Chains A and B, each alone.
Chain A
Amino acid sequence: MLKALVLSPLLAAGIIGIFGRRWSERLIAVIGCSSVGLSMLLAVRVVFGELWSRPPEQRVIWEPFFSWIASGPLRVEWGFHLDALSGVYILFVTFVGFWIHVFAVGYMRGDSGYARFFAYMNLFMFMMLVLVLADNFLVMFVGWEGVGLCSYLLIGHYFDRAYAASAAKKAFIVNRIGDFGFALGVILIFATFGTLRFSEVMGAIAARFPEPEALGEIGLLTTIALLLFVGATGKSAQIPLHVWLPDAMAGPTPVSALIHAATMVTAGVYMVARCSELYARSLTALFVIAVIGGVTALLAATIGLAQWNIKKVLAYSTISQLGYMFLACGAGAFSAAIFHVVTHAFFKALLFLGAGSVIVALHHEEDMRRMGGLKRVMPLTYGTMLCGWLAIAGLPPFAGFFSKDEILWRTWTSPVLPEPWGRLLWAISWATAILTAAYMTRLIVLTFEGEERFARHAEGHRLVPRESPPVMTIPLLVLAVLSVGGGWMGLSEAYTGGRIANGFEQFVRPALVRVPLHSDPLRMAAEEPGHGMELGLAAVTTLAVLAALIWARRFYRRDPLRPAPRLLQNKYYVDEIYAALLVRPIVRGSSVLLWKVFDVALIDGAVNGVASAVAACAAVLRRMQTGLVRSYLVMILIGALIVLGYFVFVGSRLPAR
Chain B
Amino acid sequence: MGGHLLSWLTFAPTVGALLLLFARVLMSAREETIRRLALALSLIPLGLCIPVLMRFDPTASGPQMVERAPWIRFFGFNVDYFVGVDGLSLWFVVLSALLVTISILASWRAIDQHVLEFHIFLLLLETGLIGVFVALDLFLFFIFWEVMLVPMYFLIGIWGYERRIYAAVKFIIYTMVGSALMLAAIISLYYLNGGTTFDILAITENARAGRLALAPQTERWLFWGFALAFLIKVPLFPFHTWLPDAHVEAPTAGSVILAGVLLKMGGYGLLRFNLPLFPHATEEFAGLLCALAILSIIYGALVSMVQPDLKKLIAYSSVSHMGFVVLGIMARTEMGMQGAIFQMLSHGISTGALFVIVGVLSERRHTRVIAEFGGLARPMPVFSALFGILALASVALPTLSGFVGEFLVLVGTYTSELAHARAYTVLAATAMIFSAAYMLWMLERVLFGEITHEENRHLPDVNRRERLTLIPMAVLVIVMGVLPNPILRRTDRAISEVKQAAHGAVLVQWESPGWRMPNPALSKGAARERMGLMRRR
Contact = CB atoms under 8 A, between A and B. Distances in A.
Contact of B241 (A69, A594, A607): A607
A72 B335 contact: yes
A160 B411 CA distance: 39
B145 interface: no
B488 A69 contact: yes
Nearest to B448: A165
A168 B339 CA distance: 30
B429 interface: yes
Contacts of A160: 375, 377-378, 448-451
A587 B306 CA distance: 7
Contact of A71 (B305, B339, B392, B482): B339
B447 A146 contact: no
B440 interface: yes
A502 interface: no
B173 A74 contact: no
A142 B173 contact: no
Contact of A594 (B303, B429, B448): B303
Contact of A603 (B241, B408, B449, B492): B241
A172 B440 contact: yes
A180 B408 contact: no
Interface residues of A, number: 51
B338 A591 contact: no
Given A162-B449, A594-B303, A70 B433 contact: no
A327 interface: no
Interface in B391-444: 392, 397-399, 404, 407-408, 410-412, 414-415, 425-426, 429-430, 432-433, 436-437, 440-441, 443-444
B479 to A, nearest CB: 13
Given A70-B485, A162-B450, A611-B173, A183 B305 contact: no
Contacts of B412: 71-72
A166 interface: yes
A187 B408 contact: no
Interface residues of B, number: 58
Contacts of A635: none
A227 to B, nearest CB: 10
A595 B303 contact: yes
A540 interface: no
Interface string A480-523: 00000000000000000000000000000000000000000000
A176 B433 contact: yes
A180 B441 CA distance: 18
Interface in A71-89: 71-74
B375 A183 contact: no
B433 A71 contact: no
Interface string B314-357: 00000000000000000001110011000000000000000000
A215 interface: no
B169 to A, nearest CB: 9
Interface string B231-270: 0000000100110000000000000000000000000000
B436 A165 contact: no
Contact of A590 (B170, B306, B375, B489): B306
Interface in A157-196: 159-162, 164-166, 168-169, 172-173, 176-177, 179-180, 183-184, 187-188, 190-191
B55 interface: no
Contact of B432 (A72, A179, A587): A179
B489 A70 contact: yes
Interface string A252-287: 000000000000000000000000000000000000
Contact of B444 (A72, A165, A188, A604): A165
A184 B485 contact: no
A587 B381 CA distance: 30
B98 interface: no
28 contacts: A21-B381, A68-B483, A69-B484, A69-B485, A70-B485, A71-B334, A71-B338, A72-B335, A74-B335, A74-B411, A138-B407, A149-B397, A160-B375, A160-B448, A162-B448, A166-B444, A173-B433, A173-B436, A180-B430, A180-B432, A180-B433, A183-B410, A190-B411, A587-B306, A594-B302, A603-B238, A607-B174, A607-B242
Given A73-B335, A74-B411, A160-B375, 4 more contacts: A74-B408, A142-B398, A159-B447, A180-B432
